[in-house]
Amino acid sequence: MGAEKKWVFTLFSAAFISLLIFISTIFGFSSSYYMPFSSHKPFTSVVGRVQGRPPAFAYYISGGHGDVDRMFRLLLAVYHPRNRYLLHISTDGTSTERVKLGELVKSVPSVRAFGNVDVIGKPDPGTYMGSSNVAAVLRASSILLKVDGGWDWFITLSAKDYPLITQDDLSHVFSLVKRDLNFIDHTSDLGFKEDQRVKPIVVDPGLYLARRTQIFHATEKRPLPDAYKIFTGSPWFTLSRSFLEFCVFGWDNLPRTLLMYFTNAVLPQEFYFHSVICNSLEFRNTTVNNDLRFMVWDNPPKMEPHFLNTTNFKQMVESGAGFARQFKKDDPVLDMVDEKILQRGHNRVTPGAWCKGGSRWLMDPCSRWGNVNVLRPSQYFKKFQESIDKLLDDVKSQSNQCR
């Protein structure tokens, strides 16, 4: 074995051992690995997965250094007492930022009352490239599965995202959606990704180094596997609780096998969940081929979509999407979404039917609350409803599932 091959083998061995440590963390963490800044009330007693009640969502909101304010704004925009929230500032952020985010969370009366928001205390790397990204998402889903039994879908958001509908709109529309469906953009047509993102062999130092650094590239490439088929798509998704349990608890070995394979991929978040779900006989027919996001891309697409602004507002409203990305911090278009769609005041949560505050001008309508299981959709839910109905028609025809 040449010196170069020995070097590559040593790197791969280190990455593999580190990944096993990450997996043991994912499947058997203690409460010290996340830091609940909210109260410790049993949230499941408020919601519960009871037939006839609206669905609930588990949000994983991630950000990095300098993202505290925009993460808090995003939390307020998507907040509802029925949901569960996990906030994560990656390792490039500071402990001071995590404490500040926790204090902001505690300042919201409804959060203190319902205890449904947590901030991760021991952060993971926030590198976009490399397998540490997938490890962080799996860790987040395992925490949310452990701390709460009341949610139905898992939604990933970054500090650069924002909702285009209220949570009452989202729950109202999803009330008629089968709760085993997974909204994940996917295709087996790899295109340029085959040579640029699947075949290249890399090692993510984020798995074993405390400091942030670039991934290492091997000189050789690997062939595509023949034991399973590779699927790719958007790294943003809305996944069912049942599928996340399959990925985390893994009663079939497929999720672990693919996790091992994509350890050495450039952007595994664009492949892992897509390949797991489409190679699983149990879940391959539960896919809805859409990520529910509004984005504007270059052609061919670059690593990230364009930043959105006020010129995109009408497109966003007409898109029928549930969320949009990406936005600059405090861009004026976010104020337009708050005012016209969410009807959300500054530093206040998005109001819904659960808010029973007084009618006085300066009073926060969500400073008091009533039945959290009652919904009052806004005028903007119709576009989202039409979009979901069309997607579900495609599911019935199975014309766009795992192909």
Nearest one of 98, 53, 61, 101 to 78, comparing CA atoms: 61
Distance, in Å, from the CA atom of 370 to the CA atom of 356, rounded to the nearest integer, reads: 6
Distance, in Å, from the CA atom of 22 to the CA atom of 140, rounded to the nearest integer, reads: 12
Position 319 in a domain: yes
Range of the domain at 56: 11-189+229-397
Position 205 in a domain: no
pLDDT at 361: 65
pLDDT in tens, 359-381: 666 788 898 999 999 999 999 99
Average pLDDT over residues 9-27: 43
Q: Please give the residue that has the higher pLDDT: either 46 or 80.
A: 80
Residues whose CB falls within 8 Å of the CB of residue 252, separated by 6 or more in sequence, listed in order: 246, 280, 282
Distance, in Å, from the CA atom of 259 to the CA atom of 228, rounded to the nearest integer, reads: 13
Position 202 in a domain: no
The model's confidence at residue 47, banded by pLDDT at 50, 70 and 90, is low
Residue type, position 109, single letter = P
pLDDT higher than threshold 50 for residue 41: no
Establish how many alpha carbons lie within 13 A of residue 334's alpha carbon, considering only the half-sphere containing its beta carbon: 20
pLDDT higher than threshold 90 for residue 304: no
Lowest mean pLDDT among 32-46, 101-115, 130-144: 32-46
Residues whose CB falls within 8 Å of the CB of residue 59, separated by 6 or more in sequence, listed in order: 78, 83, 84, 85, 86, 155, 157
Position 338 in a domain: yes
Average pLDDT over residues 222-229: 94
Quote the number of domains for the chain.
1
Position 356 in a domain: yes
pLDDT at 14: 44
The model's confidence at residue 251, banded by pLDDT at 50, 70 and 90, is confident
Establish how many alpha carbons lie within 13 A of residue 136's alpha carbon, considering only the half-sphere containing its beta carbon: 32
Distance, in Å, from the CA atom of 68 to the CA atom of 159, rounded to the nearest integer, reads: 8
Distance, in Å, from the CA atom of 82 to the CA atom of 63, rounded to the nearest integer, reads: 23
pLDDT at 15: 47
Average pLDDT, the chain: 86
pLDDT in tens, 172-193: 999 999 999 999 999 999 999 9
| Buried/exposed code over 356-394 (b: 16+ C-beta within 10 A; e: otherwise) | eeeeeeeebbbeebeebbebebbebbebbbebbeebeee
Lowest mean pLDDT among 2-6, 253-257, 303-307: 2-6
pLDDT at 40: 41
Whole-number Cα distances in Å, 118 to 44, 129, 229: 15, 26, 37
Nearest one of 162, 138, 150 to 75, comparing CA atoms: 162
pLDDT higher than threshold 70 for residue 20: no
Q: pTM of the predicted model, to two decimals?
A: 0.88
Distance, in Å, from the CA atom of 186 to the CA atom of 116, rounded to the nearest integer, reads: 31
Position 210 in a domain: no
Position 183 in a domain: yes
pLDDT at 203: 84
Number of helical (H) and strand (E) elements in the chain, helices listed first: 13, 12
Greatest mean pLDDT among 33-42, 93-102, 204-213:
93-102
Average pLDDT over residues 343-359: 90
The model's confidence at residue 245, banded by pLDDT at 50, 70 and 90, is very high
Lowest mean pLDDT among 21-30, 196-205, 299-308: 21-30
Distance, in Å, from the CA atom of 369 to the CA atom of 372, rounded to the nearest integer, reads: 8
**Cis peptide, bond prior to residue 300, ω within 30 of zero:** yes
Show the CA angle centred on residue 327, arms to residues 324 and 331, nearest 5°.
Answer: 125
The first and second tokens of residue 101, run together, are 């985010």
Average pLDDT over residues 205-219: 75
% helix, strand, coil for the chain, step of 5 = 40, 15, 45
The first and second tokens of residue 176, run together, are 């008629």
The first and second tokens of residue 243, run together, are 């599928």
pLDDT at 396: 77
pLDDT at 269: 93
Nearest one of 140, 206, 185 to 323, comparing CA atoms: 185
pLDDT higher than threshold 70 for residue 38: no
DSSP letter string, 66-129 = T-HHHHHHHHHHH--TTSEEEEEE-TTS-HHHHHHHHHHHHT-HHHHHH--EEE-SS-----SS
The model's confidence at residue 45, banded by pLDDT at 50, 70 and 90, is very low
pLDDT at 274: 97
Burial class (CB in 10 A: 0-12, 13-18, 19+), 44: middle
Share of residues in the chain with pLDDT > 90 (%):
66
pLDDT at 125: 82
pLDDT at 3: 46
The model's confidence at residue 11, banded by pLDDT at 50, 70 and 90, is very low
Position 212 in a domain: no
pLDDT higher than threshold 70 for residue 271: yes
Distance, in Å, from the CA atom of 15 to the CA atom of 218, rounded to the nearest integer, reads: 13
Give the CA-trace dihedral at 2, 3, 7, 12, to 10 degrees.
Answer: 10
pLDDT higher than threshold 90 for residue 56: yes
